[in-house]
A and B are shown apart, each in its own frame.
Chain A
């Protein structure tokens, strides 16, 4: 991305995206009633004056978290937006950078006073910051943080809202024709974390793309080794080749991951250390088995996951009963 693009983005910091404009309707009981019904909020202080007075209030109040509702632009303006304004300009500029998707990530609200029927709220939105490009589970993107200031008819602040969205380039979808797990619908999802490929491990991941599980072998003393490395720890030879694994092995240990949940995986996720028949071990996933069914020493056999066009990984599934 050119420097000038960065500068153009930076010029938005401090700019007004949405000018202060009063909401279409003042705070009113019918909208409050619709909202609390939909939210199944039974607190009587929103609809019953007497109940509200019993709490020391003058009468009913609007739910605090309704604040956004009072200044929403409404159905017509949403369907046919007329005024691009600062907001439209920023969206276009982000689209120019490829950030065409959006997801809201944070909303921090601070309430200064309760609203009552008759109040007329306006909202102004200003850009606080636009982050450098970050790699996220959804794809590369930028966090756009704005401050929305809500004021009443007298210009007094009633609430503020720090609003953060991630504007991102959607991650690549899995390749057409990649064989999905039976019963597992192919869907757009976050990519698995990338391996850091260097001169000492590239051959292993390249072989995996061809669905070959290889084991590094010292040319000099024939010792097998994994994880890969440039030098044989047995004889210090730097010469190596590979052998292809039989694909048979057994579970040496395993973990069932619950938290944190990386968006590339289904949870609970089984990660195992499998000892191959050849004697080396590797970290892998177990498929075709539930966490409750996994046991240490369980015999397993090689399978493949084509995680995305750039990444195929060896995984293991239990050996079918008739096989052993």
Chain B
């Protein structure tokens, strides 16, 4: 992949602050409180005051509206508020919205946030089978699945995973290696749910079936918590306490014949074309190539879809991700240290937003699993859905 000149968005904005609640299975407080705690922590981390904030971005899936967060945290007037759809696919898209708003002068300080009681409240993992019914196009799309008993994210992903195994000879162990490296990283991260609890491949293989070919340990956690990210112009970020995590690129992507988690009708279902679309934009915007990327935060709600992400983003050829992973490339000392916080399998399932925060720490040099010499980090959002991605870079 050849280098090109960076696009106009590249380098215009930076992440200046990150903040989160603890990650738990039962927060014991409202989702709005989690959102407020995360937003205030991020604003404080940026060395700013709530009254400096003039923009908020979140997910359409978020239950805490911008006005409630603003009113409760003392954020005053909002000049910019925007939401991104498609579940975890929104994670990096929120940062893109904020970066574009800051780059165009529409807003000065934009906070992106996501907070939920996903474990103690409404659990996504229980599936769509008995959700309340309406007849919108989104809801009617479930008509092709739930009457047949295909109703949970694990089941939807398992269908892709089986086909990927068939086409490329990947095995359950190949998926398991992703879980093992995530849990290895989580084991030394005090913020991670699985702090101090690494697993080995045998434990992965012995864990019970959820939806074959997915074992329990192929599936991410369900989490209560909140995470927020502060985006300002790169220029302003240089005057704030932390080294800026410059937004080198930010992109969204929805593929041809895109469905929610069930794009089974494309000629090939062993790739993630929408992630390929995101990757091509990230490299074009930033002027970087895969060789320039030093670490990755790859969305890992389920291990199997980490493999085709490596292929779509150009880190290895199609079908070769299993070897790329088995060769230790995702380890801290490897070619592409991956999910150094422990990922959503190991740290927390925060719809990808905790991964954005980890990418900021990698650029700052403050990850608990900090590799040497990290200049550029790629971050991805939810797979199987319209998605998004970022390249964050050090300011040098």
Contact = CB atoms under 8 A, between A and B. Distances in A.
A281 B135 contact: no
Contacts of A313: 147-148
A194 B159 contact: no
A196 B135 contact: yes
A260 B145 contact: no
A112 B125 CA distance: 36
Interface in A209-235: 226-227, 233
B126 interface: yes
A198 B135 contact: yes
Interface stretch (A30-38, A42-50, A282-290): A282-290
Contact of B265 (A262, A271, A280): A280
Interface string B273-286: 00000000000000
Contacts of A253: 159-160, 162-163, 166, 264, 269
Nearest to B162: A253
Nearest to B123: A260
Interface string A261-293: 010110011010100000011111100000100
B212 A268 contact: yes
Contact of A193 (B130, B158, B159): B130
B291 interface: no
Nearest to A199: B135
A259 B208 contact: yes
Interface stretch (B136-144, B189-197, B235-243): B136-144
A254 B262 CA distance: 12
A113 to B, nearest CB: 27
A201 B145 CA distance: 13
B367 interface: no
Interface residues of A, number: 43
Contact of B130 (A137, A265, A291, A307): A137
B134 A259 contact: no
Interface in B146-165: 146-152, 155, 158-160, 162-163
A192 interface: yes
B129 interface: yes
A233 B257 contact: yes
Contact of A257 (B126, B136, B149, B162): B149
A66 interface: no
A271 B144 CA distance: 12
Contacts of A311: 147
Contact of B144 (A260, A282, A285): A282
A60 to B, nearest CB: 37
Contacts of B67: none
Contacts of A57: none
Contacts of A207: none
14 contacts: A135-B132, A136-B130, A192-B146, A192-B147, A193-B147, A195-B147, A198-B137, A253-B269, A257-B149, A262-B129, A269-B149, A271-B155, A271-B159, A285-B148
Interface of A: 135-137, 192-198, 200-201, 205, 226-227, 233, 252-260, 262, 264-265, 268-269, 271, 273, 280-285, 291, 296, 307, 311, 313
Given A262-B130, A265-B149, 17 more contacts: A135-B132, A193-B128, A193-B142, A196-B143, A201-B143, A227-B141, A252-B264, A253-B160, A254-B159, A255-B155, A255-B159, A259-B211, A268-B212, A280-B265, A284-B148, A307-B147, A313-B147
